[in-house]
Amino acid sequence: MQEKAIEAVLKNPAGMGPFEFARVYGGQQHNVYFQAFLVYGWAGGLAYLLLVVLTLVIGFRQSIVATPWQPYLIAALGTFCGEVMESFIVDTDHWRHYFLLLGMVWGLAVATMNEAARNLRSGTHHFG
């Protein structure tokens, strides 16, 4: 099915719409990244990939900063990384906890950035 999904993505730059791949080809592609391109088109697929990559980059960059919530960010990011890899074989776009983890990574990363900016403005260079 992966080969058919690649072919369908290339033939349908605007996407096929929900459930159309299964209707046309008689099966699922079982890959959330192909799913994004097949349902939402190239723009939607690229947007989804950008969201995943930015979440990983921002999460990794902020997880090395010492904060009281650093262990929570590391745990959320580590779990999210596993889900990102699993997305190559399973459609994770309907898993609620996937988006909960995504939101946790962003929330904790932004909290880290805000705290760093606050400390920089006040002249302190430590958290706490």
Tell me how many domains the chain contains.
1
Q: Specify the pTM.
A: 0.89
Whether residue 52 is contained in a domain is answered as yes
pLDDT tens figures, 58-72: 999 999 999 999 999
Radius of gyration of the chain from its Cα atoms, rounded to whole angstroms: 18
The domain of 23 spans 2-122
Specify if 54 maps to a domain. Answer: yes
| 127: pLDDT strictly greater than 80 | no
In this predicted model, which residue has the larger pLDDT, 122 or 13?
13
**Residue 111, CA distances (Å) to 52, 67, 81, 84, 98 in order:** 19, 9, 20, 23, 20
